[in-house]
Chain A
Amino acid sequence: MKENGNATPRQMKSDGQQKLPVALEAFDIVRETLIAEAGNTEEVRQALLACDEWIANVVNYSGADDFSFICRSDGEAFCISFSDNGIPFDPTQSAGTTAEFEDLDLGGMGIELIRQSAKKMTYVREGNYNILTLYFEFNASHKRKKEDTVT
């Protein structure tokens, strides 16, 4: 899979590829992992917003029975890749919602929130798997934290 940027992202200390249940509890695992790694900051919560929306999409619509994620960081940015064997769905090709306000209780905001929360997202279909990678940037204070903690 093609990676972002010039640097090869380094796997975070705290995790490798992690299996996720195809259930909303998957968000708890991703949340605990990211907060343990990077703290409960506004930037992390924004990253989690994108993850939350994708997890809900996979759980509710994909039909997948195999779901996992992995985080990587190069100290400047971090990326989160989700893999699922559900029906093919490329969110990068999904048009933003055209729903009227009164219809938004039925859905339509999730992909737009992913698009706006992540600096970049890439999608690839590998075999029977959707692989979505979301990219985020650290702020200066988090960069310092990474320099202090990642060897």
Chain B
Amino acid sequence: MTIEKTISGNTAELKLSGWLDTKTVPELEAALNELGPGINALVLDMEHLEYISSAGLRQIVAAFKYMKGALTICHASGEIRNVLKMTGLDKRLKIEE
């Protein structure tokens, strides 16, 4: 998996590509941990994310809590959205086209 990070003011955008699974989730965790204390909003661009497992979902929930809810998911495929729906996360997360 690859993660491309862009910082704009207090907002960080992470473009996720590839597979976010049990093995690769530490890469996302590390990227989130590297965000400075001045970052208070997070955008996860999932346009090129092919796959997500519960390990990835757990990390997203953790990020949501850390950002006090200021987390947006964008460009997720129908497949990724379906996984979010299966777990009910779609009801709480802000998901944009």
Contacts and interface: CB of A to CB of B under 8 A. Distances in A.
A binds B: yes
Interface of A: 24-25, 27-28, 40, 42, 45-46, 48-49, 52-53, 55-56, 101-102, 104-107, 109-110, 112-113, 116-117
Contact of B57 (A25, A46, A104): A104
B92 A101 contact: yes
Given A24-B23, A27-B21, A113-B86, A105 B53 contact: no
A56 B83 contact: no
A150 B54 CA distance: 33
B43 interface: no
Contact of A101 (B55, B59, B89): B89
Main secondary structure of the interface of A (DSSP, over half): helix
Contact of A105 (B21, B51, B62): B62
A46 B91 CA distance: 21
A102 B22 contact: no
Main secondary structure of the interface of B (DSSP, over half): helix
Interface size class of B (residues with CB under 8 A): 20 to 34
A137 B22 CA distance: 24
A117 B87 CA distance: 11
A104 B58 contact: yes
Contacts of A53: 53-54
Given A56-B53, A101-B92, A104-B61, 15 more contacts: A45-B51, A49-B83, A56-B22, A56-B55, A101-B61, A101-B89, A102-B61, A104-B57, A105-B58, A105-B59, A105-B62, A107-B58, A109-B87, A113-B53, A113-B54
B87 A113 contact: yes
A49 B23 contact: no
5 contacts: A52-B53, A56-B22, A102-B61, A112-B86, A117-B86
